[in-house]
Structure 1
Amino acid sequence: MILNLLSFFVGSTLLVLISIILMNHKKDKNLNIFFLLIMATAGVQRFLNGLEVFELFESFANPLQRNLFFTFFIPPLYYLFFHNLIFKNTSSKRIVLHFTIPILIAILSSIFNPNLVILKAIFLLYSSAYIVFTGLLIREKLFQNKNYKELIHFQSIKNWTLIIFAFSFLIYFLANYIFLNYSNEEGQNVLINFYNITSLIWLFIIGYILKNPVILYGEQLLLEKINTSTKEEIEVWRNKKKGDSEKDDLEVEKKVKGKEEEMIFAIKKSEHELLQNFTDLPSLKQLAFKIDYPQSHLKYIFKYYTYCTFGEYQNILKVKYAMKLIQSGYLDTHTIDSLAIKCLFTNRSTFYKNFKKQTGFSPTEYQIDTSSN
């Protein structure tokens, strides 16, 4: 009874989460529709099962327990989810190809009416092929050498990818175990046990989703929330684009459109790494090469999405590094001249002028303010 309640709760929660995700992802091009379909399948299965088990509606019979052919659609759903997550999009041809296979299986089964043993063998081979292909896809794309842009993307999805793959492997194992033990006489009880056991796994996935709001709200909406609720010590990035593009920038605008957040994230990632090992400042050309975007695209981003020119941004990086060193107690044992040199300023005067401009404090005043806080 407790597991049945848990299964019904998980199914209902998944359906609620789907509605939340859909409401918040209206403008998000990165919405992975396949994960929503996976959630919808699991949610509907458990919700309908709960209606039948607890007899919430008189004479209600769960249609998904009378026909197991829908299970052949689950393996391609998971594969397409991973493909879309890794490549950020999936072609219509690929989608049609992968869903044609289970449709053909269903049609051929209805024509030739194979016995249950043959169906079990087909499902075992079919689902095993998908789990192997998925594993190879993840291994190839997540664990091989890649350029900086791909590295940023794969680092951001790595944990989620591995968690869902481990989850899908457990589902694969349990589904085949359940299917191999399935019989027409005990079919309903076997499926109820499957829903109950896998609901424990889904409970973990629900917890992970709730702890990672980017899944619920979408990257775009979450970034907007973060930008409006937090403020950088030195304000660099605009919440919205600065006015309309000039005539000379219209061609670049077409190429950059839809990639703005991705590019800003890549620049911030590069900045974070630079501040960990501040030995040299990259030029615009070097930064473009590192994050694997055309130089003209970076010029556009700095022109319309920052409060500074690229040259000013370089000075801001120097000041940010100086702030980091002061916060760590650098001036307790070193001079301001030493700090200026370490932050790549040519002299104390230039350092002092830029530091005061960006922070509103002199280095000494900032040290005192930091210590008092």
Structure 2
Amino acid sequence: MLFTLIYLTTAIFGYITIYLIGFKFKSNQHANVYLIIFFFLSSTRFFFSGMVNVPFFANKLYFINVLFTVTSWPCLYLYFTHLIHNKTEIKAKEGLHFIIPLLILSLAVFKFLWSESTVSKLKVISLVINLTMNSIYYLASFKILTKSIWNRNSEITLINKQNKAITKWTTFLFVVLSLIFLIYLIRFFVSEKTFWNLDQSSYLWVGALIWIFIYLKTLSDPQFLYGYDVLQSKIKEYKKNSIAFDNVWKMDYNVNLVNVQDTVLKEKIQCNIENYIIEIEHLALHSNLFFKETFSAEDLANKLGIPKSHLLYVFKYHSNVSFSDFKKIIRIQKAIGFMEEDYLKSNTMESLATDVGFSSYSPFFKSFKSITGLSPQEYCTKMD
């Protein structure tokens, strides 16, 4: 009875998580579909385990366990791949990753078509294929994580903060699932030549408790679902009378001022901070000022018609990035827009660098990789 309660509680938490992801966050088009699928399969497995005393669910439990076992690591691999490449859509060729899982699943579903001896042979073959496949996807996932996520750094403070958050999440997820996979391997080689967690008495309740923690962690910080383009997605459009770059700006007016001059300045401009920010955004998105090589904070202040000290105050106390970093973000976003418009079909990378305001290709390359995690060439390849 206790185990049944744990399994059903886990399933409920999982379905609530999926519901909130699908509806509360439906305006965010960067939700990672493969992680959601993985959550759904896991939740359904625990639901059927909790309902094992009901004949209908008991008869389907084997099928659900096999489905979860053969699709888990392909889904996780694709999740990590989408995470590092900021991909939102599912491409048809990704379906190739599920050919072998579907084959194994078919053998399990239609086992009644063959004799008992044939079923025994097919079961062994399926188990070996499944073990090999999961091992390959496990190692491939580890390679992606170590190469492109866990060691990902940026010179932009805001981007680096996001990198660290996603690194912590993926490390936690990978370690937990590695332990589960290790248990599966030990059980497979030592005693039970069966699929993952089919025996309901074999510590499945421990996994259920771990999954509850995973769901709670996801709900507490849903950025884990989206990837690295949370900041960039905010730069794509300007909304009138609103702050578009909401990951850049800080609207907390209870800031700790470092000197008397700033204290005096705060009294003068506090009521204008939001207007300043909206005007800065508008110029960043609807003018070419930021793409001039020599463009400076003083130039921006003059264009806004405010003292330079006011502008520096805004970036000092109400921005997560410096003026220099903000300028780099705007320029790289413009460069990405040019790339998507096939600019490079008739122009070089060097001309792209200078057109968006960099003095040469070298600082452009460094800033591009710092912000996107990819070199300009890698980004172009990803778009193809």
TM category (shorter chain) comes to: 0.5 to 0.7
Which of residues 112, 125, 133 is equivalent to 1:118?
125
Name the CA shift for 1:270/1:126 in 2 (closer, same or farther; >3 Å). farther
TM-score normalised by structure 1 residue count: 0.56
| CA offset digits 1:64-110 (Å, max 9, x no partner) | 32575412111101111112222221651452121223224445786
Name the structure 1 match of 2:47: 47
Name the structure 1 match of 2:332: 293
Name the structure 2 match of 1:190: 199
What is the distance in 2 between the residues matched to 1:297 and 1:77?
A: 28
1:188-267 matched pairs, under 5 angstroms? 190-191=199-200, 193=202, 195-212=204-221, 214=223, 231-232=252-253, 234=270, 236=273, 249=286
Please tell me whether the aligned partners of residues 8 and 46 of structure 1 are also in contact (alpha carbons under 8 angstroms): yes
Name the structure 2 match of 1:163: 172
Name the CA shift for 1:183/1:51 in 2 (closer, same or farther; >3 Å). same
Please tell me whether the aligned partners of residues 142 and 154 of structure 1 are also in contact (alpha carbons under 8 angstroms): yes
Which of residues 66, 81, 84 is equivalent to 2:82?
84
What is the distance in 2 between the residues matched to 1:251 and 1:100?
A: 49
What is the distance in 2 between the residues matched to 1:141 and 1:188?
A: 31
What is the distance in 2 between the residues matched to 1:226 and 1:152?
A: 11
What is the distance in 2 between the residues matched to 1:68 and 1:20?
A: 25
What is the distance in 1 between the residues matched to 2:317 and 2:184?
A: 41
Name the CA shift for 1:93/1:268 in 2 (closer, same or farther; >3 Å). farther
Name the structure 2 match of 1:322: none
Name the CA shift for 1:232/1:30 in 2 (closer, same or farther; >3 Å). farther
Amino acid corresponding to residue 85 of structure 1 in structure 2: L
Please tell me whether the aligned partners of residues 147 and 292 of structure 1 are also in contact (alpha carbons under 8 angstroms): no
**1:172 and 2:170 matched:** no
Name the structure 2 match of 1:260: none
Deviation at 1:183, TM superposition (A): 5.9
What is the distance in 2 between the residues matched to 1:46 and 1:18?
A: 14
Amino acid corresponding to residue 138 of structure 1 in structure 2: L
What is the distance in 2 between the residues matched to 1:80 and 1:296?
A: 27
Q: Which SS does the other structure have where 1:190 is aligned?
A: coil
Amino acid corresponding to residue 41 of structure 2 in structure 1: T
**1:64 and 2:61 matched:** yes
What is the distance in 1 between the residues matched to 2:79 and 2:71?
A: 13
Amino acid corresponding to residue 98 of structure 1 in structure 2: H
Please tell me whether the aligned partners of residues 11 and 43 of structure 1 are also in contact (alpha carbons under 8 angstroms): yes
Please tell me whether the aligned partners of residues 32 and 225 of structure 2 are also in contact (alpha carbons under 8 angstroms): no
TM-score normalised by structure 2 residue count: 0.55
Amino acid corresponding to residue 61 of structure 1 in structure 2: A
Query: Percent of aligned pairs with the same residue?
Result: 20
What is the distance in 1 between the residues matched to 2:152 and 2:27?
A: 32
Amino acid corresponding to residue 78 of structure 2 in structure 1: L
Q: Which SS does the other structure have where 1:196 is aligned?
A: helix
Name the structure 2 match of 1:36: 36
What is the distance in 1 between the residues matched to 2:252 and 2:24?
A: 23
Please tell me whether the aligned partners of residues 38 and 76 of structure 2 are also in contact (alpha carbons under 8 angstroms): yes
Please tell me whether the aligned partners of residues 10 and 202 of structure 1 are also in contact (alpha carbons under 8 angstroms): yes
Deviation at 1:198, TM superposition (A): 1.0
Please tell me whether the aligned partners of residues 288 and 294 of structure 1 are also in contact (alpha carbons under 8 angstroms): no
Q: Which SS does the other structure have where 2:52 is aligned?
A: helix
Deviation at 1:204, TM superposition (A): 2.0
Q: Which SS does the other structure have where 1:154 is aligned?
A: helix
What is the distance in 2 between the residues matched to 1:251 and 1:108?
A: 61
Name the structure 2 match of 1:350: none
**1:142 and 2:141 matched:** no
**1:2 and 2:2 matched:** yes
Please tell me whether the aligned partners of residues 13 and 212 of structure 2 are also in contact (alpha carbons under 8 angstroms): no
> How many equivalent residue pairs?
267
What is the distance in 1 between the residues matched to 2:140 and 2:226?
A: 30
Tell me, which stretches of 5 or more residues in structure 2 are unaligned? Answer: 235-243, 255-269, 290-314, 338-384
Larger radius of gyration: 1
Name the CA shift for 1:272/1:230 in 2 (closer, same or farther; >3 Å). closer
Deviation at 1:177, TM superposition (A): 4.0
Q: Which segment drifts farther, 196-205 or 108-117?
A: 108-117
Q: Which SS does the other structure have where 2:51 is aligned?
A: helix
Amino acid corresponding to residue 25 of structure 2 in structure 1: H
Name the CA shift for 1:40/1:151 in 2 (closer, same or farther; >3 Å). same
Deviation at 1:12, TM superposition (A): 1.5
Please tell me whether the aligned partners of residues 45 and 64 of structure 1 are also in contact (alpha carbons under 8 angstroms): yes
Q: Which SS does the other structure have where 1:25 is aligned?
A: coil
What is the distance in 1 between the residues matched to 2:4 and 2:253?
A: 49
Name the CA shift for 1:119/1:209 in 2 (closer, same or farther; >3 Å). same
Name the structure 2 match of 1:337: none
